[in-house]
């Protein structure tokens, strides 16, 4: 009799465990489905995408400003991903009444450094992870296609956009003891 009760109790426990596992699997599948829908809606929203020529206000992360030889350079970072430290970067140059902007290579990690230096011909060079941009004294921005040419040579550093010794992302001027 005791053996029969034990077998019956084990059968009941087995059925309860199967039901609990089925419920847990169902809840997991539902959670994955809901997370996928949330991800799709966030990816489709304008909060993390370029809308025309402007990035949306909700995607704005920070802006760093440098004034060099009468030009104002503003590097703006926008969130490119809702959960990870990925940013789109746009350089905005104002020289007199002229204003131009260009999107840089994405910053996939949030720690990207963008170097700024004077060129031998009087222009500025802006170097990110994958490209070099030349900024003329009139504020025009163009990509330097041949990075081995003399045009792409840094005569002396002006500074960098990145994290400094005191923390925080911003423009860090070159040390005064360097040329």
Has residue 96 got a pLDDT over 80?
Answer: yes
CA-based R_g, the chain, Å: 27
Q: For residue 129, count other CB atoms closer than 10 A to its CB.
A: 14
CA angle, corner 160, sides to 166 and 141, nearest 5? Answer: 150
- pTM of the model as a whole: 0.63
Q: Is the dihedral of CA 75, 79, 81, 85 positive or negative?
A: positive
pLDDT score recorded for residue 80: 82
Best mean pLDDT range from 40-49, 63-72, 149-158: 63-72
Q: What is the pLDDT of residues 145-169, one digit of tens each?
A: 765 665 567 788 999 998 887 678 8
List the one residue out of 62, 136, 132 whose CA is nearest residue 93. Answer: 136
Q: Where do the structural domains in the chain lie, given as residue ranges?
A: 1-44, 50-173
Q: What is the pLDDT of residues 6-38, one digit of tens each?
A: 889 889 999 999 999 999 999 998 888 777 766
List the one residue out of 152, 30, 133 whose CA is nearest residue 73. Answer: 133
């Amino acid at each position: 009799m005791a053996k029969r009760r034990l077998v019956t109790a084990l059968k009941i426990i087995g059925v309860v465990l199967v039901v609990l596992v089925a419920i847990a699997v169902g809840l997991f599948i539902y959670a994955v489905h809901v997370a996928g829908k949330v991800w799709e809606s966030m990816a489709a929203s304008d909060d993390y995408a370029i809308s025309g020529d402007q990035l949306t206000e909700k995607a704005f992360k920070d802006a760093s400003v440098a004034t060099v030889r009468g030009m104002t350079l503003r590097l703006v970072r926008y969130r490119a991903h809702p959960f990870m430290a990925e940013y789109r970067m746009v350089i905005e140059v104002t020289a007199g009444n002229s204003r131009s902007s260009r999107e840089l290579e994405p910053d996939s990690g949030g720690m990207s450094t963008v170097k700024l230096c004077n060129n031998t011909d009087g222009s500025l060079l802006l170097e990110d992870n994958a490209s070099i941009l030349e900024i003329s004294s009139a504020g025009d921005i163009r990509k330097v296609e041949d990075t081995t040419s003399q045009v792409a040579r840094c005569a002396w550093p002006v500074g960098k956009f990145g994290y400094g010794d005191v923390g925080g992302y911003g423009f860090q001027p070159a040390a005064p003891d360097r040329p």
